[in-house]
Amino acid sequence: MRVITIGATGFIGQALHTRLHLSSHIPIATTRTAHSNMNSTSKSVVVSDINATTKWGDALHGIDAVVHLAARVHMMRDQSHDPLMEFRRVNTDGTLNLARQAAAAGVRRFIYLSSIKVNGEATNHGCPFTPNDLAAPQDPYGISKHEAEVGLREIARATGMQVVIIRPTLVYGAGAKGNFKSLMKLVARGFPLPLASIDNRRSLVGIDNLVDFIITCLEHPAAANETFLVSDGEDLSTPDLIRRMARAMDRPARLLPVPKSVLMAAASMFGKRDMAQRLCGSLQVDISKSRELLGWNPPVPVDEGLRRAVK
């Protein structure tokens, strides 16, 4: 199968492209410049920008499947005059433009990496999100991803191209950025963290498990026109994550007991309430559909995934 990865130079894209090279598939990458960080043996196509006017003709010629990973990502401090418009330009309009051209080029399957933010920002303890829940995006990034999903399903119905939508939770692994990288640095430095009293549950997904799931969705007939949530299958509290991360680093976990109400109040004073909510709140997903329909189970346990991440 000839597979083109849109966003092959990113954190997830590089890991996927490496796995595709080791499989029976023929991987092709898109890059933003001719001088990318892709392996010199990889076949690549330069696409400088992704929007409603991007011409994909040459890139899609002879392609069997598209894996669309590229996106304008969620940003903590978005300085755009109209953030929703900017997210829509890439994540909605750019995605649907690509999908229409893919269908016209005869692509059989289109894998779209969406976001758990389509479901929402938080769950009640023990009440995980499922693929069948009503969408409830709460920020411009989540809204743009949801609108892309809606449009993709319409394109699938109109053209017959198979669309698979994947909503991952927070993705961690070697090279991960954002909140996971920041937390990893604090643990590595032995910084005392006031999180021992937090009793939440969060679903995460290691990069190797996510890549394995994407490849499963490329190959499995039952994945066609379905939406999946993906995680490691084990939900962790924030203190447990820190302890296991520290153990993977062979470092002590320094946790201090501070009531959640005090943490949230202090975070609000310093404009960090959203960050505190991610550390203190719950966000769980139910991956039983992935297990039952596709026969998929996460191949890499959490502790091994953390060891690979910190290594």
Q: Which residue in 56, 110, 141, 213 is the catalytic one? A: 141
Q: How many angstroms separate the CA atoms of 62 and 109, rounded?
A: 13
Instruction: Check if 141 is active-site.
Output: yes
Question: Residue 260: helix, strand or coil by DSSP?
Answer: helix
DSSP code at position 135: P
Q: Which residue has the tokens 């001088």?
A: 35
Return d(Cα 117, Cα 8) in angstroms, integer. 22
Residue 66 and residue 105 in contact, taking contact as beta carbons nearer than 8 Å: no
| CA–CA gap between residue 282 and residue 238 (Å, rounded) | 9
Give per-residue burial for 162-183: e unless 16+ CB within 10 Å, then b.
bbbbbbbbbbbbeebeeebeeb
Give SS3 for 32. Answer: coil
Contact criterion met (CB below 8 Å) for 114 and 151: no
Catalytic residue numbers read: 141
